[in-house]
Amino acid sequence: MAVYNGARWLTPQLDSILVELRSDDEIVIVDDASTDDSVALIEAFDDPRVRLIRQKANRGYVATFEHALSLASREVILLSDQDDVWIPGRRDLLCAAVDSAEVAASDLVLLGDGAPLPHPLTRRPWRLGRSRPSDRIRRQLTIWAGIAPYFGCAMAVRREFLSTVLPFPTFLTESHDLWIATVANASATLEHVHSPSVQRRLHEANASPSRPRGVRAVLRARVMLVRCSIEAVRRIRRRPRSKA
């Protein structure tokens, strides 16, 4: 979890996570130099499963998530935002999904009424499609187009996958979740879970925009995602081949 000035939302989120975890699980929280009561609130939980790391300078959510991923020590890593709420059963659902994949992504719903998350452009529900290796080109096109519903808060990653996805590309300034999905899709190890695992809270401070952006910002983002695809293929080609 990457945290920055999230004191308004952290208590219900951490409550929903801790009740899901087993005694040997952990929560790795990297605080991105918050100026509110986030750190004090996290420390007040006084739970041995909570690992809090404080960054002295604000680095932004992409670098902070990268730092948190590098510190995770368990075999399966579930990404989490600071302002959502886990749906009961999320841990086991996503852990089961990565038994046969390196990355799993689930559906998600809105916090409050449980409605499907709407796409900011079409206003239609943002749902994952089929998950087959042969669909890799179609899925990548939806990522480039900005209509693929891959949210980090609904993802699980196997630990061995981190050697490919980390470090993040230096040009990655947003959408770390789309970078993870791009690498997993390129290596045909992306599993879709057609069940919601998280209730997403929408508010003006969301890192993922909830309404359309300007043309220049969209074009910059699309160029960055194409570069991500090129870098993903390069890294996958460098991976050692498994022995038969």
Local structure of 226: helix, strand or coil: helix
- Digitized pLDDT (tens) for each residue of the chain, 244 residues in all: 999 999 999 999 999 999 999 999 999 999 999 999 999 999 999 999 999 999 999 999 999 999 999 999 999 999 999 999 999 999 999 999 999 999 999 999 999 888 887 776 666 666 786 666 668 888 898 888 888 889 999 999 999 999 999 999 999 999 999 999 999 999 999 999 999 999 999 876 666 555 556 788 889 999 999 999 999 999 999 988 755 4
Q: What is the CATH topology of the domain spanning 2-238?
A: Spore Coat Polysaccharide Biosynthesis Protein SpsA; Chain A (3.90.550)
Domain ranges of the chain: 2-238
Beta bridge partners of residue 157, listed in sequence order? 77, 103
According to the model, what pLDDT value does residue 60 have? 97
Cα 185 from chain centroid? 15
* Burial status of residue 120 (CB atoms within 10 A of its CB: 0-12, 13-18, 19 or more): middle
Which one-letter amino acid corresponds to residue 167? P
> What's this model's pTM, rounded to 2 decimal places?
0.89
Q: For residue 81, what pLDDT is reported?
A: 97
